[in-house]
Amino acid sequence: MRLFFTTALALALAAPAAAQQQPLRPIDRIYRLEQQVAAGQAVAATQANRLTSLENQLAELLRANAEVGRRLAATEAQLNELRTEQDQRNRAQEAGTPAPARPQAPVSGPPVTGGATALPAATGNFEADGEAAYDVGYQLWQQKKYDQAITALRAMTSAFPNHRRVSWANNLTGRALLDGGQPRAAAEALLANYRGNPKGERAPDSLFYLGQSLVALKQSSQACKAYAELEEVYGDKMRPDLKAMLPGAKNRAGCR
């Protein structure tokens, strides 16, 4: 009896374990696989959405950069055109020849009357504002309003100290002083422009007109030294019009 009970108990205990170890049915396996596939697809969809969003952001940045590049190139082209035209006008007028006509209105300040000289209204463009400020002084010099021209040119160099026209403005200040009958002040201004920025675009001109100022001060030997330095330092780098004026200036100073 005891043997039967023990055997029955062993069988009863073994039955649940056997049931627990029973393999999954095919349908259960399929269901579990479907759940795993669905979860994987959800993760993949999320990653795909993120990737699409990043691609869209990158494309937008590229379009924005391309537009900025186009605008910058257009601005630089306009600025270079303005600079070239302004150089042509100034060279032609300083040499006493008619300036080529511009297809549009030049950048210049308002007409100056009386003793007051004001810079033109700023536009926020450093290059253009500096050009306009220089042009105010240049136009006054052309009109033989030398005192007003000097005031305007000095205001330009003060307001735009790093502008490429500073060399031009300082040189023209010296010329205005010379034309206005102040050769000593002219010599000081021209010498300062040459020494302060020997690589400036109008440094050679300042040496030339320094010689003119020294001749006016009856210091011909010093004028000849200025002309000699002009030839030694700049030589073939001189503009053709300046080089053409040099022999006559040396003859008038009695240079050997």
DSSP-derived letter for residue 164 is T
Residue 113 included in any domain? no
Q: Which long-range contacts (CB under 8 A, 24 or more apart) does 28-36 make?
A: none
User: Which residues are within 8 A (CB) of 207 and not within 5 positions of it... i.e. 6 or more apart?
Assistant: 190, 194, 226, 227, 229, 230, 233, 234
Alpha-carbon distance of 43 to 195, in angstroms, equals 73
pLDDT value, residue 102: 38
pLDDT value, residue 75: 53
Q: Is the pLDDT assigned to residue 98 strictly greater than 80?
A: no
pLDDT category of residue 42 using cuts at 50, 70 and 90: confident
Write out the two tokens for 212: 């003119």
Q: Are 183 and 210 in contact (CB under 8 A)?
A: no
**Mean pLDDT in residue range 41-59:** 75
Looking at the 3D structure of the chain, how many domains does it have?
Answer: 1
Residue 209 included in any domain? yes
**Residues 151-161 pLDDT 10s:** 999 999 999 99
Residue 60 included in any domain? no
Residue 94 included in any domain? no
The CATH number of whichever domain residue 191 belongs to comes to 1.25.40.10
Alpha-carbon distance of 185 to 167, in angstroms, equals 17
Residue 102 included in any domain? no
Global confidence as pTM: 0.57
Q: b/e string for 102-120 if b means 16 or more Cβ within 10 A?
A: eeeeebebeebeeeebebb
What domain range is 138 assigned to? 126-253
